[in-house]
Structure formats: C-alpha cells, structure tokens
Amino acid sequence: ILSIFLLLTSLILIGYNWRSHPQTILIALIFIIYALYSLLYYFTIASKNDFWYALMFGNLTPLWFLPGPFLYFYYRSTLCNTKIFTSWKDSLHFIPCLIQAINMFPYYLIPFAEKLKIARLIHENPDLIQVIGEKFTLYSIAFDFASRPLLFTAYLTACLWLLIKYSASSHNHRYTLRWLRGFLLILFI
C-alpha cells in the first residue's frame, strides 16, 4: 500500500511541479523507482503472484541504476541554479543503466510463458535467482546486487561535495539548503 501511495504521490508531484520546478521531476522519478523496487519484492516474497513477478523481474533492473544520477542532477541543478542537463557529458551517467539493459537483453528475448515458469520456480525457491540470472544474463547477479549500492554511495558522496561547495552561494535559500542537507542525511542513513 505504501508503494502504491508513493507512486501516486510522485505522479502528483510531477503534475504540479514540472513547469515551475523541473528538477522536482527527478525526485519523483527516484521515488517511483524505489516504489517499483519495493513492489517487485512484494510480488517476490509476500504475494507470490507469478504474473506480476514475471512482468517486473529482470525487465525493470536497468531502472535500479538511475536513482544515483537523478539525485546528482537534482542537487546540481538546485545548488548551481542550472538546467537539469547541461551538456552531452551528462549522458555518461546513464552508462550503468545501459550496461544493465545490455546485460538483461538475453532475458528480454525469452517468451513471456518462459518468464512465467521462471517466476514460479523463483517463488518455490528464491535461491534460484542466482542460477537463473547466470543462465540469462551476461554477468552475475551478485555483481549486479553489489554494484548498485556502491554506485549510489558514490553519487551520495558527489551530492555531499556539491552541497559543501555551493552552500555558500548567494542564490541558495537557507530553507532549500536545510531541505537538501536533511534529504541527504536521510539517504545516507
């Protein structure tokens, strides 16, 4: 229920702020990604719904690499008072997402009926995720699971550096700085 509430809240956040504060879309997208992530685990552990798990498992994994870049762009655009994307170099931040999409390409090609069988097998034995992952991906799921939090931690550190570097800037309002510090602290915790 909280994940669905977060999805709806994020859509409202986008709907009311996309013109006046476009960087708010990035925060909403981060919330949407984490809501989808928690829904995936709900369908894995609690509901054991094969259809929804087959629909989400593997197909959404490139999204799990996006919260870090989105957070960085949010902090940079807010603190530096710039556009969200400032040059072509910003697209380099999406390389891990692209690599993950390439990694999952063999899985994308299998028919949905096969994905339903895989979902049923994983619901019967969750430890099979590793075995199935090695069959349908180009690198291990263990690497995938380890790289996401490491990458996100690197982006948190970059946001902290931006916050320290630009917090003395005259255009940054103290309430904005308080929000950015608090949000970063919550993410570090």
pLDDT tens-digit map of 71-116: 999 999 988 888 888 899 999 999 999 999 999 898 899 999 999 9
pLDDT band with cut points at 50, 70 and 90 for residue 132: confident
Model pTM score: 0.88
Exposure letters 92-105 (e unless 16+ CB within 10 A, then b): ebeebbebbbebbe
pLDDT over threshold 70, residue 32: yes
Q: Is a pLDDT exceeding 90 seen at residue 136?
A: no
**Which has more pLDDT, 170 or 3?**
3
Distances (CA, A) of 39 to 69, 77, 85: 22, 30, 30
Coil, strand or helix at 76: helix
- Sign, CA torsion 77/82/83/86: negative
